[in-house]
Structure 1
Amino acid sequence: MDRGSGSGDEEPTAEPTNTEPRNQETTTRETTNGAAQTDESETGTDGSVTRTDESVPCESEGGVGGSTTGGVGGSTTGDGGRRRFLRSVAAATVGGGLLAILGDRDIVQPVAAADLDARDPTVVDVNADADPDAVFPQSVMSGGPTSSGAIVWTRLSPSAAAHNGMLVCQVATDPDFSDIVVSTIVPDARFSARHDHVVQVDLDGELDADSFYHYRFVYDGTATRTGRLRTLPEPDASPDSLRVAVVSCQDYQNGYYGAFHHVAEEDVDFLLHLGDFIYESANGQYTTPGRRVPEDRRLSLPSGKPLAESLDDFRYLYNRYKRDRFLQEALERHTLVAGWDDHEIGNNRYWDYAADAPVLPEKRRGRDPEFAIQLTANGIQAWVEHMPMRVDYDPEAEHLQNQLQLWRRVQFGDLVDLAVTDERLFRNGPPCPDGEVVTCFSEDERGRTMLGTDQKRWWKTWTAKSDARWTVWLNEVLTMPLTQGTGWNQVEFLHDAWDGFQHERHQLMRHLRRRGPRNFVTLTGDLHCAMAGIQHAHYGEFGRGDRGPRVGVELLAPAVSSVNAADVLTYPAWLDERDVDDLALEENPHLEFVDWHEHGYAVVEFTRDEARYTAYGVDIDENSADADRRTLAEYVVPDGRPRLQRRE
């Protein structure tokens, strides 16, 4: 096998090597503003672990996919055939000293601009003819916004970093950099090979609230492409509107990123990513069956394995994904707020509380606790290096689950109060064996959790105390049921989603009914479809009677490029392929809109009077800025009413 380099940029120089609920009763620190911390650690390329006691606390951000595989055949007709076919559709959409490892790592920390030496901008020369890709192959991005800053990110190529030149970070009020407000020197220790030459500069405290800025890095005369960032409004501000683009699930090998070019062109305030920023595979494992991976999308992990294991493997994937020009455009243009899902580490991952370790069911040694902890730590480190988010990191915590706290709040004045949750690090395993789509009674067990006790308590406090016009949950997996039948005959298809955690879902939805906010909106990824529906206090599950009162709405953005349900189905001769959408609506009356066929993204605009959701489909077969874009659906949620009103 032709093995790529660890960086994803250059030729390899050496082949690297690598090697219930306990947390429900933990005492993870809970902050009143929902803050989280940043985790920064590193494994060497030889798989060794180095120790550091240095930690830099990060402030709060002021405030989601299973793979789809399989196929369906058959020629049955009538209601029975339609029901069996719907069941097959759902099956096809379902995925595809030891605990201190993370704390023993030297994870890259965002460095505060205030702690860096200032550099007179008049003496920073920029060669307008220099090629930014040669020095900064992954361009730039920003994330972790506050009302006085954001974290800006770049990465130097290993060959450029070897020159030991001077790196300067600059921020200006204009794209021409005639009014520079920040100009600082980044020490070379901050972009060393130990951190894959990644740079993160925290501008918190340096900028004005609710403002756009332009930023760049300059290294020995070569400047990055110019990025644009946005700060949050002050917590007590009353903005008239907030417009966000919503994306998830971007399998590099299954299609091109024309959607990101359109996202870059959108007039939005922020970009929200719901998870599966990378897929851990290099062999096309999660692509559409029979689809040939294009030559320019082929991957070769440094370890030579089909699925990422080493830190170099995960770094390689982020570096390759981020070399896509359309993804770069979107990240350059919009400040990112992101969570994760499963593929950043391993498909359908969960926590085995008996072994007190993660389980990676599709990895060859994924049930070996030592291997799974090491691999998970590798994936976490690469995520932290490449996603400039404000997440809590506590290197002194004794347990991996308590060291990285992804869940946090982001507040957009009194208009939108948004929370990101972690639905992978604390969840129990599936209630039924993988691949089964029949009802199993354990899915409703009281002890099963997706959030863990501490995060669930935090979530309830957040929703009970939120007084914003719109309370918005960045959620990884579908909360609404996707079922067929009722009572004893009901079948739940998505045990990896909240259908596999029905008791906890009922707790959350009942809480919204009793103590919920004025308007509750859930934004969800993972399922690789566009969808809109109503959340209820309960859905008439066995023993709970008729469907309960409305408590919120759930909106799904289609996958950017990952395989859709419609991509993996063989349709019976009697069924039009678009009927699959109608079948889901027919069996699930809480759903208002479903599209299993399209890739793309969504835009959601929040105002004082309404929330407006627009789903777009974008072709994944054309690697072009001209990739066709079409509107799939547009819905309005009126203030004070959990309703979905379609706009034609």
Structure 2
Amino acid sequence: MTTRRAFLGSLLAAGAAPALLRAQPRLRDYPFTLGLASGYPHPAGFVLWTRLAGELDPLPVPVRWEVATDEAMRNVVAAGTAEASPDWAHSVHVEPKGLEPERWYWYRFRAGDAHSPVGRTRTAPPTNASPDRLRFAFASCQHYEQGFFGAHRHIAAEAPDLVAFLGDYIYESSWGREHVRKHSGGEPHTLAEYRARYALYKSDPDLQAAHAACPWIVTWDDHEVDNDYADDRPEDGMPRERFLERRAAAYRAYYEHMPLPERMKPKGPDMRIYTQLGWGTLARFYVLDDRQYRSWQACPRPNRRGGSNTVNVAECEALGNPNRSMLGRAQEHWLSAALAQSGARWNLIAQQTRMAQFDQLPGEGRRAWTDGWDGYPAARARLFDALLEHRVANPVVLGGDVHLFNVSELKRDFDDPASAAIASEFVCTSITSQGWAQERLNAFLPDNPHMKLLDSRYRGYVRMEVTAKETRADLRAMDSVT
């Protein structure tokens, strides 16, 4: 028997149904063509990411997410629904919490009737735990046109605990000697153009595999925005206001395409991405940003407002200015305080470029590249002083940017061969981006005795294994990327 209340309820439901149907966005295409990713593991959780692609209505899309203890996704231990908003390119950033520490999980997304692939991620060890080891890879500089991303396929196969990507995830510009594939469109300046560039890179199956294999931590360098930019100054003569609009678009697109936590969401042209991440008492990462807050490069090339240069140090007075900063004073103070409080066995400084001095003038005198740490010697000295003052245990610097393998001892005085090493540095080569001629580098080695290896012949990445006794770095070289 149908009661009056039930009958009225059914009429109300029937009347509401058409409106609900109209509000549901249609998924005309498979929406997970950009893959999925996870990042920033901590003992109780991590960040999960995806971005819906294809032809979508400009409406929010509900996206179901699930975390399980098995790859078949039978034992789901966390689940929910997130909104993929068109304001953020239909990207999804989810932060499950309350999970078990130091274990692997699997995850997936669903939009409409479509399921994403299954990704693998993990939580970090408890804060006070002493894990036996940490295995991670770090990489940088993947120009889409200059090669295929096969190195990422090898990273995925090695199934590390995490990946640290140190910048130049995309390239805004087209350059290089040989191209195996092409960017679509010209150099990006608008949000739509940066979104399209990320979507192109994210379509690569090897890059998707590496993201699906383990959590990532990331930082940017210059090409995510504009070559050689420094704070609010671009390489060319673009007015400051216009450049900050471009930077805001680039930062927003970066957030939309990375497994970043909510706290890193950009506000206009500002976005704090520097952070720290612990791995029990074994290791601690300090992920830096050397672009957003830096002083302008010293002694730019003639007829240019900004950008890098290679200069005779004695002829560039601005290099000696003690107030110049690579990180900005706020980030410098944050890093010094974080290092002072660290109880980790190994302290891993993950940043964009080479920190070791690199003299590019054989014989007397010294030539320096102003876009790297050689362009900010006072800032580098302050960082080294912090390592010494706080007696930081086993500091190791990780870098990228320069498209070569480079292993160095970091010294307070690089010009004094007797100066003690205060840290080790490992610089990864590029995933694809073209490097220096090896013959040219060989000529510089006698003037840089603190450098133990300098090899630009290969593309690839670095795999590291950290234990209480040692940290081992394996330089993983690709035969070819073309």
Q: Is the 8 A contact 1:585 1:591 kept in 2?
A: yes
**AA at the equivalent of 1:298:** K
> What's 1:134 paired with?
30
Q: 1:163, 1:620 → 2: CA distance?
A: 43
3-state DSSP of counterpart to 1:138: coil
The answer to whether the aligner puts 1:343 opposite 2:210 as a matched pair is: no
Cα 1:314/1:620, change in 2 over 3 Å: farther
> Is 2:267 aligned against 1:404?
no
CA–CA distance in structure 1, aligned partners of residues 216 and 296 of structure 2: 30
Deviations 1:311-364 (A, max 9, x none): 01111111110000000000011100011111111111113xxxxxx11114xx
Q: Please state how far the C-alpha of 1:159 moved relative to its aligned partner.
A: 2.5
TM-score (norm 2): 0.88
Match of 1:584 in 2: 444
Which of 183, 192, 197 matches 1:299? 183
Deviation at 1:133, TM superposition (A): 8.3
Return closer, same or farther for 1:166/1:442 CA change in 2, 3 Å cut-off: closer
Which AA in structure 2 matches 1:477? T
Map residues 153-168 of structure 1 onto 2, 5 A cutoff: 153-159=49-55, 167-168=63-64
The correspondence for 2:233, drawn from 359, 362, 383, is: 359
Is the 1:350–1:424 contact (alpha carbons within 8 Å) kept by the matching residues of 2? Answer: yes
Q: Structure 1: which amino acid aligns with 2:476?
A: Y
> Structure 1 residue 442 and structure 2 residue 318: aligned?
yes
1:41-80 map, 5 Å: none
Bigger relative contact order (CA 8 A; separation at least 6): 1
Query: 2:373 and 2:191 mapped to 1: Cα distance?
Result: 31
Cα distance per residue 1:292-315 (max 9 Å; x no partner)? x33xx32233xxxx3210001111
* 2:117 aligned with 1:242: no
Corresponding residue SS for 1:419: strand
Paired position in structure 1 for 2:16? none
What are the within-5 Å matches in structure 2 for residues 241-320 of structure 1? Answer: 241-281=133-173, 284-285=174-175, 287=176, 289=177, 291=178, 293-294=179-180, 297-301=181-185, 306-320=186-200
Kindly report which structure 2 residues correspond to 1:88-107, keeping only aligned pairs within 5 A, or say none.
none
Match of 2:298 in 1: 431
How far did residue 154 of structure 1 move? 1.0
Paired residue secondary structure (1:145): strand
Q: Distance between the aligned counterparts of 2:154 and 2:122, measured in 1?
A: 19
CA–CA separation in structure 1 for the residues paired with 2:219 and 2:291? 11
Counterpart among 241, 257, 262 of residue 370 in structure 1: 241
Counterpart Cα distance in 2 of 1:518 and 1:194: 44
2:389 aligned residue: 514
Q: How far, CA to CA, are the matches of 1:132 and 1:274 in structure 2?
A: 36
Aligned mates of 1:486, 1:298 — CA distance in 2: 38
Q: For 1:523-554, what per-residue CA distance to the aligned partner results, in whole angstroms no more than 9, with x for missing partners?
A: 001111111110111212xxxx6653210000
C-alpha distance in structure 2 between counterparts of 1:342 and 1:547, whole Å: 35
Per-residue deviation at 1:178? 1.3
* Corresponding residue of 1:570: none
- 1:618 Cα offset (Å): 1.3
In the alignment, is residue 505 of structure 1 matched against residue 399 of structure 2? no
Task: Tell me what 1:380 maps to.
Answer: 251
Report deviation, 1:279: 0.7
* Count of paired positions: 447
Q: Which residue of 2 aligns with 1:564?
A: 435
User: 2:92 is matched by which residue type in structure 1?
Assistant: V
- Aligned-pair RMSD on alpha carbons? 2.3
Deviation track 1:229-264 (CA, whole Å, cap 9, x = no partner) reads 111111111101000011100011111111010011
Alpha-carbon distance in 2 for matches of 1:416, 1:324: 32
Deviation at 1:583, TM superposition (A): 2.8
C-alpha contact (below 8 Å) 2:133/2:466 kept by paired residues: yes
Asked if 1:198 is matched to 2:102, the reply is: no
Once the two structures are aligned, what percentage of the paired residues are identical?
Answer: 29
Q: Give the superposition deviation at 1:484.
A: 4.4
| 1:184-211 alpha-carbon deviations (Å, 9 max, x no partner) | 233xxx21322211111111x2311111
- Paired residue secondary structure (1:603): strand
Please report how far the alpha carbon of residue 580 of structure 1 lies from its aligned counterpart in structure 2 after TM superposition: 3.9
On the 8 A contact 1:348/1:361 being kept in 2, the answer is: yes
CA contact (8 A) 2:60 2:85 kept: no
Q: Which residue of 2 aligns with 1:418?
A: 285
Structure 2 residue runs of 5 or longer lacking an equivalent are 1-26, 302-308
Could you tell me which residue of structure 2 aligns to residue 478 of structure 1? 354
1:147 to 20, 37, 43: 43
TM superposition score normalised by structure 1: 0.66
Cα deviation for residue 442 of structure 1 reads 1.6
